[in-house]
Amino acid sequence: MAPTKPQDWLAAIDFTDAAAAGARIAQEFDGWAPELTALITDSDTAPVLRPFHAPPIGHRWDRLPGVTLLGDAAHLSAPNGEGANLAMYDGTELGQAIAAHPDDIEAALAKYEQTMFTRSTEIATEGAEVYEMLSGGNTAHSMINVLVEDEQTPISR
């Protein structure tokens, strides 16, 4: 369960009071089947706050000579199933950029960052849409639409 909330909202919940914390989190899933909200309110284990931190979508930085970032260091995000893929893709692209500009590391890093920023923004945007779908209203219908679309869309990668 991952409601997307500001830190102040989370700080206002007393996680030392398991019942109250569970009830407050369950409120975010109002309208869900009671069998599912019971997983939050009736657990033998007290809820544990495990926040995901991520930079804002589209985060980027000015070129710093001789330095760049890749993988999670460049674009940490809440789990979206793409983190390892992106890290490996970044590494490949960085290697290719350096190979293409063996005598000009700044040109290589600039070229790598240009596409990396675009790529990570696209993936972060998609990931945020999935989170919105999973934690927003009408989740069941949204999931069914995604599964139906996947069924009808030929896999292209």
Ligand X SMILES: Cc1cc2nc3c(=O)[nH]c(=O)nc-3n(C[C@H](O)[C@H](O)[C@H](O)COP(=O)(O)OP(=O)(O)OC[C@H]3O[C@@H](n4cnc5c(N)ncnc54)[C@H](O)[C@@H]3O)c2cc1C
Indicate whether 93 belongs to the interface with ligand X (CB under 6 A).
no
How is residue 111 written in tokens? 């070229």
Closest separation between CB of residue 28 and ligand X, Å?
22
Closest separation between CB of residue 2 and ligand X, Å?
12
- Taking CB under 6 A as the criterion, the residue among 38, 84, 100, 148 binding ligand X is 84
Find all residues with CB under 8 Å of 42, minimum gap 6, and list them: none
- Could you give the 3-state DSSP secondary structure of residue 131? helix
Q: Nearer Cβ to ligand X, position 58 or 79?
A: 79
Task: Report the candidate in 119, 111, 105, 121 with the shortest Cα–Cα distance to residue 67.
Answer: 105
Indicate whether 81 belongs to the interface with ligand X (CB under 6 A).
yes
Q: Nearer Cβ to ligand X, position 12 or 67?
A: 67
By CB under 6 A, which span of 9-17, 34-42, 57-65, 69-77 interacts with ligand X? 69-77
The count of residues interacting with ligand X (CB under 6 A) is 10
Binding site for ligand X (CB under 6 A): 71-73, 79, 81-85, 87
